[in-house]
Amino acid sequence: MRTCLTLLLICAVSGCGSKPEFSHRDEYENLPPYAQAYVDEVLNTYFGTPTDMVVWDKLPLKLHTATGKVTTADNRSITLDINEPHAEISSGTELLLEAGEEAQQISAWIRSWDEESHTATLESALQSKPAEEQSVVVGPGQVLANGRHLYAEHCQHCHGVTGDGNGPTAPYLNPKPRDYRRGIFKFTTTQAPKRASREDLARVIEDGIPGTYMPSFKLLTEDESAALVEYVMWLSLRGELEYQLIRTLSDSYSNDAIKDRTSDGETSRNDIRDEFNAAVNEPDSFRYELDMMTTRLTQDWSSSQEEPAEVRPLTPRIPYSAESVAKGRVLYLNEKNKCLQCHGEAGYGDGSQTFSITKNELNQENPAPGLYDVWGNPIKPRNLHRGIYRGGRRPIDLYSRIYAGIKGTPMPAFSTTTLRKTDPDDPESAITDEDIWHLVNYILSVPFEEVKTGAGADSAKTAELATTPQEVDSH
Alpha carbon distance 30, 268 (integer Å): 18
According to CB under 6 A, which one of 48, 139, 381, 395 is a site residue for ligand HEC? Answer: 381
Is the Cβ–Cβ distance between 77 and 121 less than 8 Å?
A: yes
Interface with ligand HEC by CB under 6 A: which range of 27-35, 82-90, 254-262, 390-398? 390-398
Q: Which is nearer to ligand HEC, 78 or 184 (CB)?
A: 184
Q: Which of 120, 155, 325, 413 binds ligand HEC (CB under 6 A)?
A: 155
Span of 2-10, 337-345, 418-426, 449-457 interacting with ligand HEC by CB under 6 A: 337-345
Decide: is 398 part of the binding site for ligand HEC (CB under 6 A).
Answer: yes
Q: Please check whether residue 64 is in contact with residue 58, taking contact to mean a CB–CB distance below 8 angstroms.
A: no
Q: Out of 89, 137, 226, 439, name the contact with ligand HEC by CB under 6 A.
A: 439
Distances (CA, A) of 282 to 82, 141, 288, 429: 40, 31, 9, 49
**Among the listed residues 303, 333, 350, the one whose alpha carbon sits nearest the alpha carbon of residue 460:** 350
CA-to-CA distance for 48 and 15, rounded, in angstroms? Answer: 13
Of 25, 60, 277, the closest CA to residue 160 belongs to 25
Evaluate whether 226 touches 210 at the Cβ level (below 8 Å).
no
**Contacts (CB under 6 A) with ligand HEC, residues 343-362:** 343, 353
> Is 406 a binder of ligand HEC (CB under 6 A)?
yes
- Toward ligand HEC, which CB reaches closer, 64 or 178? 178
Q: Which lies closer to ligand HEC via its Cβ, residue 22 or residue 332?
A: 332
Segment interacting with ligand HEC (CB under 6 A) among 51-59, 85-93, 273-281, 401-409 = 401-409
390 binds ligand HEC (CB under 6 A): yes
410 lies in the binding site for ligand HEC (CB under 6 A)? yes
- Which residue in the set 138, 412, 437, 459 belongs to the binding site for ligand HEC (CB under 6 A)? 412
Contact status: 22 vs ligand HEC (CB under 6 A): no
Radius of gyration of the chain (CA): 26
234 binds ligand HEC (CB under 6 A): no
If you count them, how many residues does the chain have?
475
Q: Which is nearer to ligand HEC, 118 or 407 (CB)?
A: 407
Cα atoms in the 13 Å half-sphere on the side-chain side of 36: 12
Under the criterion CB under 6 A, does residue 209 sit at the interface with ligand HEC? yes
Give whichever of 209 and 346 is closer to ligand HEC, judged by the CB atom.
209
Number of CB atoms found within 10 A of residue 325's CB: 20
Which of positions 168-187 make contact with ligand HEC (CB under 6 A)? 169, 173, 175, 177-178, 185-187
Is 215 a residue that touches ligand HEC (CB under 6 A)?
yes
329 neighbors 455 (Cβ within 8 angstroms): no
- Using CB under 6 A as the binding rule, whether residue 154 contacts ligand HEC is answered as yes
Contact 414, 421 (CB under 8 A): no
CA–CA gap between residue 49 and residue 349 (Å, rounded):
42
Residue 401 binds ligand HEC, judged by CB under 6 A: yes
Instruction: Choose between 218 and 247: whose C-beta lies nearer to ligand HEC.
Output: 218
Q: Which long-range contacts (CB under 8 A, 24 or more apart) does 57-60 make?
A: 57/1, 57/4, 57/5, 57/7, 57/8, 57/9, 58/5, 58/294, 58/298, 59/234, 59/237, 59/298, 59/301, 60/298, 60/301, 60/302, 60/305
State in angstroms the smallest separation of the CB of 172 from ligand HEC: 9
Cβ neighbours around 464 below 10 Å, total: 11
Decide if 158 contacts 177 (C-beta within 8 A). Answer: yes
Q: Is 100 in the site for ligand HEC (CB under 6 A)?
A: no
Judged by CB under 6 A, the residue of 59, 158, 258, 290 near ligand HEC is 158
For ligand HEC, the binding residue among 342, 346, 419, 444 (CB under 6 A) is 342
Residues found near ligand HEC in the complex (CB under 6 A): 154-155, 158-159, 169, 173, 175, 177-178, 185-187, 201, 204-205, 209, 212-215, 217, 228, 232, 332, 337-339, 341-343, 353, 371, 379, 381-382, 389-391, 398, 401-402, 406, 409-412, 414, 439, 443
